[in-house]
Amino acid sequence: MIRGIRGATTVDVDSEKEILHSTNELLKEMILHNKIKAEEVASVFISATNDLTSSFPAKALRKFDEWKYVPVMCMQELDVPNGLSRCIRIMIHYNTSTPQREIQHIYMKRAISLRPDLKEE
């Protein structure tokens, strides 16, 4: 079965270095906490808010050798009034038998505010 694994993070400034660093950090946490193996990933969608234009966040994923053949797509997040700025969101579509309630969605930095209901106690 394919499950969606969500994650989000933010950057302080729109720079390639910040975007790639924060994306890399988020991906590593998503992979670690969900024991993701690249060969079991169907695809990855990555979105960024319209105030991030210095780099494609997917470039961070391409630095992981074992992820070379995983289809990845970047897109622009909806521009919603009062939405979280400088935000990168990731959705990994993963083949797993893990029950949905056991999937660990990762929210970092200011993106924690997106899903306070998932915050660890």
Ordered domains of the chain (ranges, CATH)? 2-116 (3.30.1330.40)
Structure tokens at 95: 């083949």
Structure tokens at 3: 């499950």
Sign of CA dihedral 72, 69, 37, 64: negative
State whether residue 48 is helix, strand or coil: strand
41 φ/ψ angles, rounded to the nearest 5 degrees:
-90, 130
pLDDT at position 119: 64
- Single pTM value for the model: 0.92
pLDDT at position 40: 96
Q: How many other β-carbons are positioned within 10 Å of the β-carbon of residue 15? A: 13
What span, in angstroms and rounded, lies between the C-alpha atoms of 108 and 9? Answer: 5
The pLDDT averaged over each successive group of 10 residues in the chain (121 residues) is: 96 97 97 96 97 95 92 94 95 95 94 77 43
CB 111 within 8 A of CB 30: no
pLDDT at position 120: 57
Cite the active site residues.
Answer: 6, 62, 74, 77, 89, 107, 115
pLDDT at position 116: 73
Among residues 114, 108, 118, which one has the least CA distance to residue 24?
108
pLDDT at position 89: 97
75 φ/ψ angles, rounded to the nearest 5 degrees:
-150, 165
Average confidence score pLDDT of the chain: 93
